[in-house]
Amino acid sequence: MKREGKDVISLAPGEPDFATPERVARAGGLAIEEGRTKYSPNAGIADLREAIVAKLERENGITGLSPTDSVVVTNGAKQAIAETILAACSPGDEVVVPSPYWVSYPEMARLAGADPVVVRTRLEDNFLLTPEGLEGALTEKSRVLILCSPSNPTGAVYTKAQLAALARVACRHPRLLVISDEIYEHIYYGGEDPFPSSFASCGVPGAAERTVTVNGFSKSFAMTGWRVGYLAGPAPIAKAAAKVQSQFTSGASSLAQHAAVEALAMCEEAAASGGRCGDEVESMVAEFRRRRDYACGRLRAMGGAILPGGREPDGAFYLFPEVSEWMRGSGCETSDELCMRILREAGVATVPGSAFGQGDCLRLSYATSMGELERAFDKIEAWLRENAAGK
């Protein structure tokens, strides 16, 4: 459509529309100048693994990790999740995935020969998994539970009390490993603490020993193209994941890893002065908050869209409204059909909720400029007035 000269605005991207912080980018360039262009050790350079262990203790309260035995640096957080599942699961095992979920979770389970078990959550619960929902999904075949907080696609964030309640259920099932996907942790707007709570440090005995924490640099530091993530958890799982990685890709980019070391150094310096991650990251998060508030206001004013839990999300840069009224009013039977009509007739790209296991929702990303966001909502509102109002 763009090649045909049509005005199309995308609210689909899952990446920040900001530049990598300057000092982080310079560190990557310096690594080139200094000739650090050889293969990386499979599990990551020592400086980065040590910095990750220090970061997890400083920001997340996760202690007792070894840089050599507990951490694997990966080609993005996505690889970290996939490797953990491949290392942990055998055919016939079950991977518990709360819905709505990030699109790749069920497919990663299938890739490992495991069976994804999708657990429905409720709009009024902010699409967060409850202890009752988890208990009802667990069987003797349950091997992995995947949690994402802040969430893609909803932006919802689990409190420490909510994580502890889930951990008490998980710890009653000896085979259950928890993958805690925390890739959006720094893009966080709620609570008194500077960072969302981590499953591994929720305070329940035994929780840390069964948790693999996954994180990376793509979202918080606008480093999507650098491709650096990591997993950190029990040594047997980390070592097994490293073996998987050694047969697939070997180590992540050595240049990108040196840039990642600088990103964590920036956070350490900020923490020493009472901040979180440096001025550039703080400015990015503040702008995302401004856009979130604007987008939520526009949705409420348009009507027919219900925000999960009836409130603004506390993290990430997505909205995931329930839009069944839009579907009924426009005669669309599925969110896929609604998305295609909004794209072709209004010129705005969104993502259907069916991709995330929730067919009556849409995912709207506000990782675009305020000007484009305003134009996108103007287009959607005009389309709704013409196609869905009063029907």
- DSSP string for residues in 321-380: -B-HHHHHHHT-SSHHHHHHHIIIII-EE-EEGGGGT-TTBEEEE--S-HHHHHHHHHHH
Six token digits for residue 369: 């400029």
- Return the CATH number of 9-16+279-387, one of 1.20.120.530, 3.40.50.2300, 3.40.30.10, 3.90.1150.10: 3.90.1150.10
Strand order in the sheet with 318-319: 318-319, 362-365, 351-352
pLDDT at 391: 43
Task: State the sign of the Cα–Cα–Cα–Cα dihedral 198, 203, 206, 209.
Answer: positive
Phi, psi of 101 (to 5 degrees): -130, 160
Hey, what amino acid is at 27?
A
Task: State the sign of the Cα–Cα–Cα–Cα dihedral 319, 323, 326, 327.
Answer: positive
Closest by alpha carbon to 332, among 357, 296, 310, 304? 304
Helix (H) or strand (E) holding 389: none
> Which residues, 6+ apart, have CB-to-CB distance to 12 below 8 Å?
349, 350, 351, 363, 365
Per-domain boundaries in the chain = 9-16+279-387, 22-272
Task: State the sign of the Cα–Cα–Cα–Cα dihedral 236, 238, 242, 245.
Answer: positive
- As to burial, measured by CB atoms within 10 angstroms (0-12 exposed, 13-18 middle, 19+ buried), residue 310 is exposed
Q: What is the pTM of this model?
A: 0.95
Q: Do domains 9-16+279-387 and 22-272 have the same CATH topology?
A: no
Angle (CA) 21-24-26 rounded to 5° is 110
> 74: which strand partners?
229
pLDDT at 103: 96
22-272, what's its fold? Aspartate Aminotransferase; domain 2 (3.40.640)
pLDDT at 190: 83
Residue pair 53/66 in contact (Cβ under 8 Å)? The answer is yes
- Give the chain's residues under pLDDT 70: 389-391
pLDDT at 276: 81
Six token digits for residue 252: 């992540």
> Which residues, 6+ apart, have CB-to-CB distance to 251 below 8 Å?
39, 40, 41, 42, 43, 44, 73, 245, 257
